[in-house]
Structure 1
Amino acid sequence: MTHGTITANRFVHFVSESTRDTLVASGVRLQIRTTRLFLYYRGDFGGRCGIYEYLEQYDVIDQGNRPRVRYDRYDWTLHTGVYRNAD
C-alpha cells in the first residue's frame, strides 16, 4: 500500500498559489487568507513569527509586513488517496 506525501516543494507551490492573491485591504491593516495547514503545523514553522518569515521568503508578503492572518478551512479528503483495504 502506498501513502501519498506532500513534498516540501509541492507544499511551497500549494501555499504560494493559494495565498499569493489573497491580500485584502481591511481598513488600514491588510488581511491575508491562507491554508489552515499553517495553523495546524504552526509549531513546525516556529509559531506566528515563523509563518510570517516563511511567507516573506516565498514573496507572498513583503518583508516586515504583518497582515492579519485568517486560515481557510482545509478539506483533508482532497489529498488522502486510498489508505484502507477494500473489504
Structure 2
Amino acid sequence: MEQLEDPRDLERKIEQASRIASRVTDQTTYQRLTAWVEELRQRLRQRLAARRTKEEIRARAHDLWVQHGRPSGRDLDFWLQAE
C-alpha cells in the first residue's frame, strides 16, 4: 500500500517545481515539470479530501458514542457505524 504524503510536503514540492519551471527555457522540460505539478496538485486534493472524510467520520463516531452514554470499549463499533 502506498504511504500517503503529508499535504505540507506536497505543497513544498509544488512550490519548488513551479519555481523551477518558471526558470526553464527548454519547452519539453517545462511541459514535464508543469505536468508533474498538476499531478502533485491532484494528489494534494485527494489527500485533503481523505483527511476531511476521516475527520467527518471521527466527529460522527464521537456523536454516536455520546448518544449511547459514552460506553468504553466500543470505539470500533461506533467508527464502523459512522462510516
Taking structure 1 as the reference length, the TM-score comes to 0.28
Structure with the higher fraction of residues in helix conformation = 2
Structure with the higher fraction of residues in strand conformation = 1
Higher Cα Rg: structure 1 or 2?
A: 2
Taking structure 2 as the reference length, the TM-score comes to 0.29
